[in-house]
Structure 1
Amino acid sequence: MSHVVVPAEPLGRLSDSWRHCVGTGRLNLALRADYQESLALVQRDVGFRYIRGHGLLSDDMGVLRVSQGETRYSFTYLDQVFDRFLELGVRPFVELGFMPTALASGEDTVFWWKGNITPPRDHGEWAALVRAVVAHLVDRYGLDEVRTWPIEVWNEPNLVNFWKDADQDAYFRLYETTARVIKDVDAGLRVGGPAISPGSDEWWAPFAEFVTARDVPVDFVSRHAYTSGPAQHVPFGTYQTLQPPRSLLEQFEAPRRHLAGTALAGLPVHITEFNTSYRPDNPIHDTAYNAAYLAPVLTGGTDLVDSYSYWTFCDVFEEENVPTSLFHGGFGLLTHRQLPKPTYHLYAFMARMGAHVLARGEDHLVCRDDDGRVTVLAWQPVGGTDEPGAPERHAVRLSVPVPGERAFTRRERVNEHDGNAFAAWRELGRPRSPGRRELEVLRDCARPAVEHRAHAVAGGRVELDLALSRHEVTFVEVLPVRPEEHPGLDDRRLLGGSDDRLVAGRPVPGTA
C-alpha cells in the first residue's frame, strides 16, 4: 500500500468532458413519463450538457409524412422531445438517422423497433428533409442556440447492422450531401462524423481523404468505444468477456492518432457512445464491478477527448424488445422506476468533485475547491477477463492539504453490498416486477453507505486511510471546520456520554 502526499498546488482544472454528453434510447421514448422522470433525476445529480440518441428521423417520430402523394414535414414529437430536454438543462447532440420508410431505398432494418438502415432512394429528397429539419430547429430555438448543437451524420456506418452492406462510398456520399445542406442553412452550424464503432479504424484515412479532396465540411469527428467480446447468449440475457479498462482510453485516443498529419488533425473528438458491453442485456452494466471498471476511464479520459458519452442514462431502452425484468443488464445508469445502479453513483460522485485537480493515480482522483474543500474519488482497480480477480480489500492512503486546525470528513461507499440495489434484488429472489414494498426496499438499498468523522489537522494536512471493499468506489469530502464554540461547552457532561474522540467538541489528537 503506497502513501500519497497530495500536493497543495493544483495541477489544473478538472475538465467537464466526462459529462459533456450522455446517450439515450431512441428519441420517441423521451415522450414517456418514466423516461422524463429519470432524466430529471440524472440532471439533478449529474448535470449532463448534451444528450444523443438514435431514431430522430425514424417513422415513430413522424417527421416525414406522405399522404396521397403529398409530403409534409411534421415536428409534433420532435418539438415535445427537444423542448423537454432544454427544460431539463440538456441540449440535443443531434444524430441524423435512421431513414424514413418513405425515403428508403430498401427494407433492411435494425432493432426491435425497425430503424431503416438503407441509403435514401433519392439524395435530393434526403437533402430536402435535412434542410427542413435543421431550418425548423433554427426557427424554433434560435440560430445562436442551434449553433451550439453538434449534428452527427448517421450511426456506425461501418457495421452492416446499421448501414446497408457497410458501404463506405455510400456513406461518404450521404455525409457530403448532409454536411453541405446543413452549412447551406447556416455556415456556423456544426456537423461531423463518421460515428464508427470499435475495430474499424481503417475508416479514418479514407474519410479524411474524401472530405479533404472534395472540400466537404467537417467540424468534429466521432467514434464509439466498447471493450466486450463476442456475445454469449442465454435466455433473455448475454454474457461477454472484457478487455482491461485501459482499452477504452486507448480507443479514446485512436481518432487523433489516426488523423495526425491529415487535414482533420486538431478537430474536436467526441466519443458519442462508450461502455463496457455493447449489449443492452448484459448484467455487467448493473454491477459494482462496472462502476469500479469505469472509474479510471471517467477520470482518465478528461484530457484525451472533447467528450465521451456514457451509453445510456436510463433503462428505458428497447433495441432488443421490451425488457422483461427490472434488472436485465440494460445500459442505463438508472433502472426503470429510477433505481440508481453503482455506475450512477460513480457519475454522481464525479459531479461533486472540486474544480481543481490536486492529484491523479491508478486508484484515486483528488480535487479542491477555492474555499478549501477537498474531494477524493477512490476505487479498487479491476482488470478484464484475462487479468487476476480483485481481492476482497484495497487500501488507499492519502495525505491531503487542509487549511485550519480541524476538519470534517464525510465518506460514501458503493461496493458489492453498499449502495447496490442489484445485489439486494438478487437477495430478494430477482423479482421481475417488484411490488411497491420491494421497490421501497430496493430504493433504500441503492443509497450509498455514509460515515463521517472529525479530524485534527497536523502540519496543514489530514491523513486518510481508506479501506475499500471488493469493487468499491468511494467518495470523500474533507471540509475545513470553522468552530463556533462557546465557554462552558463540554460534551462529556451529556447524559449517555459522547464520542471518546471528542473533548469539548474538539477532536483528540491521534484519533483521526
Structure 2
Amino acid sequence: MAAIAALAIFGAADLPTVEITLDVSGTVDPFPHNWERTFGSGHALLATRADWQQQMQRSVNEIGLRGVRMHGVLDDDMSVTPDDAFGNRGAYKGLTSPPADYEQWHDLIKAFGQHLLDRYGLGIVSRWYFEVWNEMWGMPYPAAYLPLYNASAVALKAVHPALQVGGPSSANLEHVADLIADTIKAQIPLDFISSHHYPSDPSCSRAGGGKNTMNANCFSLDVLESAAIAKDASLPYFLSEYKDGLQGGPGTGFGGPHSDSSYAAAFVIHTLPRLSSLEVVSWWTFSDIFEENWMIGLPFYGGYHLIASLIRYGLLTVDGVAKPAYRAFELLYNAGMRRLRNLEVTDTTPQYMNESTVSAFATLGDRFGTGTGLQLFLANFGPEVGASPSAWVPGARNVTITMHRDASDGPWPSSGLLRRIDDDSTAPYAAWVQMGKPPSLNPSQLAQLHAKSQTKDEWVALAVQGEVATLTLELPEYGVAHLAVQLSPSTKQRVSLDGYSRAVG
C-alpha cells in the first residue's frame, strides 16, 4: 500500500487554482453506465481470432463491456454471398451500390434473422439491435437507403415482431429527423435511432443558441440536440460510434498519437457524464485488432510516416497494452449509480472561451447501487477544433476540492485513494517511443509497456474540519484524477428519479 501523503495540499504554488465544491449529503440523480452497453470493433471475422476474444473477455471483466457492434456480418468471408441481390460479392471492398433486387435482399435478411432465432432463441436475439447499413456507404438518402431500410425492417419483423431494428447509422448525426418522418409516413417499423459523431466532424455547425466550434462542450451539445429529436418521437437514441476524434494531436492532422495519449482519457471523463441521458454510447473501438485499410500489427501506429494517416481506434493495443483511455473506462467501471447533483466548478482564470478546462462529477456507492463510498472524477480537457487541430492545450491547474457532509451522516475519514492518468504517469506510447519504436516487442519490452500503462495510485490525507474535508492537487494538461473516499453509512440520502425525490436508506 502506498504511503499516505503527509499534507492535504500538494499542488504547485505558481499555478492558477480551480475550486470544486460538493455536498455529499445532497440530492443525487441516477447515473446509468450507458457506455458499457456496447463497444465497437472491426469486421465480424475478427471475432474468430483468439487474441480478439481474449481482449474482449478482458474488457468484459475490467471495463464492463456488455455488447459489441461490428461491421461485415454479411461479408463473403462470413460465408454469406449475396450475389443475386447485388450482382457482386460482399467482400471488404464494400457494397457500394443498392441491391439490384430488394425482394431478394428482403429474403436474405429474413433468412439471416430466422437463422439467428433458430440458433440462439428469442430470449437472446430480441435483446439485440439490428442497425441497417453503416454511414450510408453507397446508399444515399433517401433514394437508396430508405428502400434498403424498409426491406430490412420488414424482413426482420416477419421473423418475429420482437426483433429490434433501427437506423440511419449515419455519419455526423445526419438524417435522424428524416428517417423518423419518412418511416412514420410510410408506416415502416423503427425501434431506435442510431448515428455517429466524432469531435473532428464539422461540429455545432447546424446548431443555434450561440453554440460554436470553440465551445468546449460542442461535441456533446451536438449529440444531445440530435438525441432530442428521437426523444420527441419516443424513440431510444444510440450514439453507435464516437471517440476522442480522428485528428492525431496538435499539428499532426489525421493519425498521430492522439488516441494513445491522456488526451483521450480526459475526453472520456469530460464527455460521458454529459451524455448520461442516452440509451447507448458506443466507443469505436475496444481493440487495435482491427482492419479498415489493412491489418497493422505495430505496437502503436504513430511515428511511421508511411502509415501516419491511419487512425488507432482501440483502447487496447494489438499486444494488449492498455492505453490511457482504457484506464479511464476502468475508473468508470467502478463509478456509483448515484451522481451528486450539488457540485460546482469555479475558475477565476478560465482558459477556453471563458470556460474552465477542468470538469468534475461525483458518484456515491458502487456499480451495483450499493455501498457508501464517494468517488470524484476530474479532467483537465480542452478540445482541439475540427479535423485541423491547433497547438492549443489546456494549462496545468491546481484544484482545491471542498467536500461537505452533514454531521448526522457521519464523520469524514482521514484519507482517500487518489488515482491519476496523465502523460507522465500513464504513458505506454511515450515509453515505446523511448524504446526506439520497435515494430515488434520482446517479452521484456512488453512487460515495460504494461507497467507504464498503469494508473499512478497513492493514498492522500484529507484536511478535515467538522463537516468539511478539503484537498488540493495539481491537475496537468489532459490529466485525469479519481479520488475515492470510503464513508460511513448515511441515515438518509435524497434520490431524484424522473423529477421526483424520495428518501431512501
Same fold, TM-score > 0.5, yes or no: yes
Q: Is the 8 A contact 2:84 2:104 kept in 1?
A: no
Q: 1:307 to 1:405 in 2, by over 3 A?
A: closer
How many residues align? The count is 422
Q: 1:167 to 1:43 in 2, by over 3 A?
A: same
For 1:318 and 1:35, locate their aligned partners in 2 and report how far apart those are by CA, in whole Å: 12
Q: What is the SS of the residue equivalent to 2:143?
A: helix
Match of 1:389 among 384, 389, 393: 393
Q: Is the 8 A contact 1:224 1:273 kept in 2?
A: yes
For 1:447 and 1:58, locate their aligned partners in 2 and report how far apart those are by CA, in whole Å: 38
Q: Is the 8 A contact 1:407 1:480 kept in 2?
A: no
Aligned to 1:220: 192
Q: What is the SS of the residue equivalent to 1:338?
A: coil
Structure 2 unmatched runs, 5+ = 1-17, 203-212, 248-253, 302-310, 346-357, 490-505
For 1:250 and 1:31, locate their aligned partners in 2 and report how far apart those are by CA, in whole Å: 38
Q: Is the 8 A contact 1:38 1:337 kept in 2?
A: no
Identity in percent = 26
Deviation beyond 3 Å, 4+ runs, structure 1? 100-103, 105-109, 242-245, 256-261, 278-282, 359-362, 385-388, 400-405, 453-458
Aligned to 1:348: 330
For 1:146 and 1:438, locate their aligned partners in 2 and report how far apart those are by CA, in whole Å: 43
Aligned to 2:224: 253
Larger deviation, residues 431-440 vs 455-464: 455-464
Q: 1:256 to 1:413 in 2, by over 3 A?
A: closer
Structure 1 unmatched runs, 5+ = 65-99, 231-241, 483-512
Match of 1:479 among 482, 486, 495: 486
Q: Is the 8 A contact 2:86 2:100 kept in 1?
A: yes
For 1:338 and 1:180, locate their aligned partners in 2 and report how far apart those are by CA, in whole Å: 41
Q: Is the 8 A contact 1:407 1:478 kept in 2?
A: no
Q: CA deviation at 1:2?
A: 1.9
2:50 partner amino acid: A
- The reply to whether residue 153 of structure 1 matches residue 135 of structure 2 is no
For 1:458 and 1:349, locate their aligned partners in 2 and report how far apart those are by CA, in whole Å: 29
Q: What is the SS of the residue equivalent to 1:309?
A: strand
Q: 1:197 to 1:375 in 2, by over 3 A?
A: same
Match of 2:458 among 442, 448, 451: 451
Q: 1:40-439 maps to which residues of 2 (within 5 A)? A: 40-64=57-81, 100-101=82-83, 103-105=85-87, 113-157=92-136, 162-164=137-139, 166-198=140-172, 201=174, 203-228=175-200, 246-258=217-229, 265-278=233-246, 281-303=255-277, 305-323=278-296, 325-328=298-301, 329-359=311-341, 363-369=359-365, 370-385=370-385, 388-401=392-405, 403-404=410-411, 406-439=413-446
For 2:146 and 2:34, locate their aligned partners in 1 and report how far apart those are by CA, in whole Å: 28
Larger Rg: 1
For 1:186 and 1:425, locate their aligned partners in 2 and report how far apart those are by CA, in whole Å: 51
Q: CA deviation at 1:254?
A: 3.2
For 1:226 and 1:405, locate their aligned partners in 2 and report how far apart those are by CA, in whole Å: 41
For 1:340 and 1:400, locate their aligned partners in 2 and report how far apart those are by CA, in whole Å: 35
Q: CA deviation at 1:44?
A: 0.8
Aligned to 1:94: none
Q: Is the 8 A contact 1:108 1:117 kept in 2?
A: no
For 1:245 and 1:334, locate their aligned partners in 2 and report how far apart those are by CA, in whole Å: 27
CA displacement, residues 395-437 of structure 1 (integer Å, 9 cap, x when unaligned)? 2423153733534411111101112211211222222212211
Q: 1:382 to 1:400 in 2, by over 3 A?
A: farther
2:46 partner amino acid: L
Q: Is the 8 A contact 2:171 2:196 kept in 1?
A: yes
Q: 1:148 to 1:400 in 2, by over 3 A?
A: farther
Kindly indicate whether structure 1 or structure 2 has the higher relative contact order, using CA contacts under 8 Å at least 6 residues apart. Answer: 2
Aligned to 2:12: none
For 2:109 and 2:427, locate their aligned partners in 1 and report how far apart those are by CA, in whole Å: 44
Q: 1:430 to 1:399 in 2, by over 3 A?
A: same
TM-score normalized by the length of structure 2:
0.78
Q: 1:137 to 1:154 in 2, by over 3 A?
A: same
Q: CA deviation at 1:384?
A: 1.9
1:224 partner amino acid: H
Q: CA deviation at 1:297?
A: 1.0
For 2:83 and 2:442, locate their aligned partners in 1 and report how far apart those are by CA, in whole Å: 40
1:253 partner amino acid: L
RMSD of aligned Cα (Å): 2.5
2:243 partner amino acid: N
TM-score normalized by the length of structure 1:
0.77
